Structures are given as structure tokens and as C-alpha cells.
């Protein structure tokens, strides 16, 4: 069971590409979004693809979970906000709660950040990527993965977003 977690960034519009690729590799997929990420995706389309509801909020207390537990997680696109909160253990959204818990459970996790060069230059971002990597998260970030862009130009580079690289990284991890 693969959870794909999509944050509020332009590549999230195309999260169905990752879902389709994962299903072709034999994964059963559930999609979870941050509240901002949900604004970017076509939830109805993704739900038809996965046969599971797209979740972006914690379930109501005392209700059964509608998603089976994950055996691996991919967070793509991962925003600076999500990376920084995740590394600090903040669980103020369902997506972050799952990511923090995933580290605690030692689940295979791959993160593919999407950010501009000015956000990426903030010292906390680099430090938090280093922390996540130290804790066993495979963070796909650097010029060999995806070029950083000027603020406001990210949508011009969506065709370069390496969705398949996340699946290759998960396949290399022990599950």
C-alpha cells in the first residue's frame, strides 16, 4: 500500500501521473493531500483511479479509517512548508501527521521537493533536508534531480518534474 502525499504546489495538478505509474508497478495507491494541495488536484479523477477517497483532513474521532495502513510513503511535490514542519515533528495536518508517524514507524519514505531557489536558500530548509535524510527519508533534491527556478516561474518547469524517480527510490528501499 503506497500513500502518495501531494502538497500545495503546481506539480500536484499532475499527481495522477504518479498514481498511474505506481499502479503500473503493482502498487495499490491512496492519495492524501495537504489542505492547500487539495486545491491543485482533481480529487474525483484520482478517486476513480485509486478506488479510495482523497483525504486531506483528520478523520472524525471514533470513526473507522477509510484507508488501509501504508507500507510506504511518497511526498511529491513536497513544499518548503511541509519539509520544514515535518522535520520539526509538527502534525497540524493529516499529511504531516502521516509523515511524522512514518518516520517513527521507520516506513520507507521518499520526498521530492518542489520549490524556487529563494525559498531553497533559507538555511532551515537545507538543515531540515539533512535531518530528514539522517532519519532515513530519501529526499530527492539537488541540481541532478530538478532545477531550482526563479520565484513565480515554477509552472514553466512542470514537464521536468521527475515523478518516476520517486518510484525508483521506493523500489530501492526495503519494504
Q: Which of 2-16, 84-98, 144-158 is predicted least confidently?
A: 144-158
Separation CA 142–CA 41 (nearest Å): 25
Is the pLDDT score of 174 beyond 90? Answer: no
Percentage above 70 pLDDT, the chain:
99
Write out pLDDT tens, residues 39-79: 999 999 999 999 999 999 999 899 999 999 999 999 999 99
Residue 108's φ and ψ, nearest 5 degrees, are -65, 125
Is the pLDDT score of 175 beyond 90? Answer: no
For the chain, give every domain's residue range.
2-58+68-172
pTM, to two decimals: 0.96
Q: Determine the average pLDDT of the residues in 122-149.
A: 96
Q: Determine the average pLDDT of the residues in 85-101.
A: 98
Q: Determine the average pLDDT of the residues in 167-175.
A: 91
Runs of H (alpha helix) within the chain: 15-24, 35-38, 43-50, 80-87, 94-104, 117-120, 123-134, 163-172
Number of H helices, E strands in the chain: 8, 5
Q: Determine the average pLDDT of the residues in 16-34.
A: 98
56 three-state secondary structure: coil
Tell me the CATH number for domain 2-58+68-172: 3.40.50.1950
Q: Determine the average pLDDT of the residues in 28-46.
A: 97
**Apex 45 CA angle, 154 and 175, nearest 5:** 80
What integer pLDDT is reported at residue 169 of this predicted model? 97
Amino acid at each position: 500500500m503506497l500513500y502518495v502525499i501531494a502538497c500545495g504546489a503546481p506539480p500536484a495538478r499532475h499527481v495522477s501521473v504518479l498514481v498511474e505509474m505506481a499502479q503500473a508497478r503493482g502498487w495499490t495507491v491512496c492519495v492524501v493531500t495537504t489542505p492547500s494541495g487539495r486545491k491543485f488536484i482533481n480529487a474525483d479523477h484520482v478517486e476513480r483511479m485509486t478506488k479510495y477517497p482523497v483525504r486531506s483532513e483528520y478523520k472524525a474521532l471514533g470513526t473507522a479509517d477509510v484507508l488501509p495502513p501504508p507500507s510506504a510513503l511518497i511526498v511529491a511535490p513536497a513544499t518548503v512548508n511541509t519539509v520544514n514542519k515535518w522535520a520539526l515533528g509538527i502534525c497540524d495536518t493529516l499529511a504531516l501527521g502521516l509523515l511524522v508517524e512514518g518516520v517513527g514507524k521507520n516506513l520507507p519514505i521518499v520526498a521530492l521537493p518542489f520549490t524556487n531557489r529563494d525559498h531553497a536558500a533559507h538555511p532551515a530548509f537545507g538543515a531540515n533536508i539533512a535531518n530528514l535524510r539522517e532519519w532515513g527519508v530519501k529526499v530527492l533534491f539537488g541540481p541532478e534531480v530538478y532545477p531550482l527556478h526563479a520565484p513565480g516561474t515554477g509552472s514553466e518547469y512542470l514537464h521536468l518534474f521527475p515523478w518516476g524517480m520517486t518510484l525508483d527510490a521506493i523500489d530501492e528501499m526495503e519494504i
